[in-house]
Amino acid sequence: MNDRDVLLQSIFLRLQEAPFSISSRQAEELEAQPSAALLQLLYDIFAYLDPSMALDVQHCPEKDRMLRTVEFLDLLDCPLLDNARWGEDAVVQGLREGRKTVIYPLMAWCLENPFDLRRRACLSRCLSPVEISNKYLKRNMALSELYGRFRELQNEFISVHKALKEARSEQFLGPHEMRKVLKQLENEHFQIRKKLEEMKRAGQEEEGFDEVLAATISMREEDAKARELDRRLAREDEALATAKQRLRAVRGRVDAGRGVRQGQSMTVVDAATAWIAVEALQQEVWGLRCRMTDNLHRDVEQKLGDDFEPMGRQRRPEQELAILGAKPRRQGQAGAWEGYREYEAGKEGGGRESRTWGQERGGSGEEDVQRAAGMEKAAASVPLGRSSRGAGPGGPGLEMTEEGARRQLKEEKLRLRPMMELLKQKRREVALLEEEHRSCLALVGGRVGNEEGEGEVGEEGGAQARMLRAREMAALMSLLRVKVSVCEEGQAGDQGGVQVAEAAGVER
């Protein structure tokens, strides 16, 4: 018997087994079948290994059939494709022409271990890698997300398949193990029946055996019920312990939220304690909110620069005067701006007259500043331990805690915040106005010098205009600083600062 007969004999034997289960007569007639029938049988075997390979040889296009066949054999790592004698080209050519020298070796390889090849085909179809260039993944985000999802599903499939394999190895028993277990159970059953018959024959000679047997059976049933009740009681105790633990955790969170110390009974907490706890929480929330607002305001002010300093670090009027290079206040500064406007309108003579008129009209500038400083000092002298209503003729003042005073001060600050924003806007306008004044004064001084001929009057007019400008800007910045400082303290002096600014006649 040559190698070809041995190969055919192995193919015939395996085709008679499951899952193909063909008759011996059909197996013997296989050699007499034409090449087309053998080729269709080969693809039926392929279809058992992978259902996607089910096709009709006569109606399927040859090119498509060859591509699918080569891909399938490569996926299963068929050794005939890498064999030096055969090779991929020889296999493809033999399948195209229906050569039995190629069909029989492929049948023998597929029927050698069909269950392992079927599992390999399933795993290879799900876990075969897909190579995509990185440049395409970087350009197309949708493709990158889809590829990432594909890799995640592959990893999930691997983990699930591994768990299934372990479960099957633990629970699945082969045919031989199953026969051993069945034989052992049959032996135990025979021994138990034999023992029962012997006990019945021995008990028939004793009186009251049936009553004792019934009592024994009932006792065993009751013991089984008792054991079941014990197991149920253990489960209920465990659930109760878990519920108690959750209740303690919830009570702990409630006690922490209400300010009640751990271990104190919830029934002794009256309404007054609850309201005190609520007020403490509200004060804490209010303080954190004010702190957040102040810190944010300060950070924004610092980023804007030194020209817009935070309200808590405002420079005093004396510091502004020192920065501007001006001397302390003099009488007539409040009306200097109006005098300058008259000077600009009247050109040569009107400027001197308007300056005199401004001095006469601005005699109350120093008095306004003194009034604002007095109001600021009075607001700062209010003690924190007393209410702003103070003590009157009817009795002593209402006592007030330091925390309440701070909260009231914060409320006043929040109420006066829009006014502070307005003042900062005015400061910006003053800076722009200063630049405009500088250019206008230079132009006016030049015009006056040209009209006098010799330039003496022009120089005198320019010097006077610069002096008026310096004094006016110093007065304006001082009044704004006084108003800001009064608003910052949050007392009644804010209204006085507004009145001082209005009485001083500061106009844009």
| pLDDT the model gives residue 408 | 76
pLDDT at 334 over 50: no
263: alpha, beta or left? (left if phi > 0; alpha if psi -120 to 50): left
Are the beta carbons of 358 and 341 closer than 8 angstroms? no
| pLDDT the model gives residue 364 | 44
| pLDDT the model gives residue 508 | 34
Banded pLDDT at 214 (limits 50, 70, 90): confident
| pLDDT the model gives residue 175 | 73
Are the beta carbons of 46 and 121 closer than 8 angstroms? no
| Tens-place pLDDT, residues 219-251 | 999 999 999 999 999 999 998 998 898 888 778
Range in 141-150, 258-267, 387-396 with the lowest mean pLDDT: 387-396
Residue showing tokens 């804490």:
284
- Percent of the chain at pLDDT > 70 equals 55
pLDDT at 386 over 90: no
Buried b (16+ CB within 10 A) or exposed e, 158-181: eeeeeeeeeeeeeeeeeeeeeeee
pLDDT at 77 over 70: yes
Q: Which two tokens stand for residue 230?
A: 């014990």
**Would the pTM of this model clear 0.85, i.e. be above it?**
no
- Amino acid in the structure at residue 69: T
Range in 4-8, 183-187, 214-218 with the lowest mean pLDDT: 4-8
- Percent of the chain at pLDDT > 90 equals 5
pLDDT at 52 over 50: yes
Banded pLDDT at 346 (limits 50, 70, 90): low
Comparing 25 with 122, the larger pLDDT belongs to 122
| pLDDT the model gives residue 222 | 93
Beta-carbon contacts of 4 under 8 Å, excluding residues fewer than 6 positions away, are 104
H helix intervals, 305-455 = 317-324, 336-345, 347-361, 365-380, 402-452
Banded pLDDT at 331 (limits 50, 70, 90): very low
CA distances 249 to 239, 243, 255, 259, 265, Å, are: 15, 10, 10, 15, 15
Q: What is the DSSP string of 66-127?
A: HHHHHHHHHHTT-HHHH-SSSHHHHHHHHHHHT-HHHHHHHHHHHHHSHHHHHHHHHHHHHH
Comparing 307 with 81, the larger pLDDT belongs to 81
User: Stretch 454-472: mean pLDDT, rounded?
Assistant: 57
User: Stretch 82-101: mean pLDDT, rounded?
Assistant: 78
| pLDDT the model gives residue 396 | 39
| pLDDT the model gives residue 101 | 85
How far is it, in rounded angstroms, from Cα 222 to Cα 216?
A: 10
Q: Which two tokens stand for residue 244?
A: 């108690």
| pLDDT the model gives residue 290 | 73
Q: What is the DSSP string of 110-128?
A: HHHSHHHHHHHHHHHHHH-
| Tens-place pLDDT, residues 105-149 | 888 888 888 888 888 888 888 888 888 888 888 888 888 888 888
Comparing 185 with 368, the larger pLDDT belongs to 185
Banded pLDDT at 277 (limits 50, 70, 90): low
C-alpha 487: how far from chain center = 41
pLDDT, mean over the chain: 69
Are the beta carbons of 448 and 348 closer than 8 angstroms? yes
- Amino acid in the structure at residue 466: R
CB atoms within 10 A of CB 196: 10
Burial class (CB in 10 A: 0-12, 13-18, 19+), 46: buried
Residue showing tokens 């312990």:
241
Are the beta carbons of 423 and 484 closer than 8 angstroms? yes
Are the beta carbons of 137 and 147 closer than 8 angstroms? yes
pLDDT at 8 over 70: yes
| pLDDT the model gives residue 487 | 53
| pLDDT the model gives residue 479 | 61
Q: Which two tokens stand for residue 115?
A: 């269950």
Comparing 442 with 177, the larger pLDDT belongs to 177
How far is it, in rounded angstroms, from Cα 145 to Cα 149?
A: 6
Beta-carbon contacts of 47 under 8 Å, excluding residues fewer than 6 positions away, are 53, 54, 55
Are the beta carbons of 469 and 341 closer than 8 angstroms? no
User: Stretch 77-93: mean pLDDT, rounded?
Assistant: 76
pLDDT at 103 over 70: yes
Banded pLDDT at 417 (limits 50, 70, 90): confident
| pLDDT the model gives residue 126 | 82
| pLDDT the model gives residue 286 | 77
Q: Which helix (H) or strand (E) holds 163?
A: helix 141-171
Comparing 187 with 361, the larger pLDDT belongs to 187
Best CATH choice for the domain 3-128 from the list 1.10.418.70, 1.20.1250.20, 1.10.300.10, 3.40.1190.10: 1.10.418.70
